[in-house]
Amino acid sequence: MSKQPVSRTCFVCGRENHIGLKMTWLNYPEEGKVRATVEIPEHFNGYPSFVHGGIVAAILDETAGRAIMIDGDNERLFVTASLEVKYRHPVPTNTPLTVSGWIVKGGSARSRVAAEICLPGGKCLASCKATVLKPPEAYYQLWNWQEEASYWKVPED
């Protein structure tokens, strides 16, 4: 198992984002999955004690997309073209959760990926399927990727 890199300002993984979740993913290539654990604070709720659906979607989106880096190719960046989320049960705040992502159908420029958020006992609370695309080279200039790339690294924590 190996850690995936994180960024500086991303809401889900950014280490310098003071309101972000600061998640870290591990690769489990023998299972064909990436996995993270997260405990979502109460200030990300919709209704008291339950995570807002938009936060759930963001976590699923990030985790599903990260499945394409399971082979250790940490420069394989992606953008989401479509995301379909199924909310099965309310996702509780302040509760340890496991988030897993995997490739449904891989490709060099387009992949179909999926993810789920589960309670420690395995009960699936929400899941998604997504299509992710390799962005055109011009996007890297729009993102100032050359400047930001030095922050895209495996966390020491």
Residues with Cβ < 8 Å from 60, sequence gap 6 or more?
Answer: 83, 85, 99, 115, 116, 117, 126, 127, 128, 130
Distance, in Å, from the CA atom of 44 to the CA atom of 55, rounded to the nearest integer, reads 7
Nearest of 23, 56, 25 to residue 38 by alpha carbon: 23
Query: What is the per-residue pLDDT across 29-76, written as a single tens digit (0 to 9) for each?
Result: 999 999 999 999 999 999 999 999 999 999 999 999 999 999 988 888
Q: Which amino acid is at 100?
A: S
Query: What is the per-residue pLDDT across 75-99, written as a single tens digit (0 to 9) for each?
Result: 888 899 999 999 999 999 999 999 9
- Looking up tokens 């064909």 gives 32
Q: Considering the entire predicted model, what is its pTM?
A: 0.94
Token reading at 83? 């995301």
- Domain range summary for the chain, segments of one domain joined by +: 2-149
Superfamily of domain 2-149: Hotdog Thioesterase (3.10.129.10)
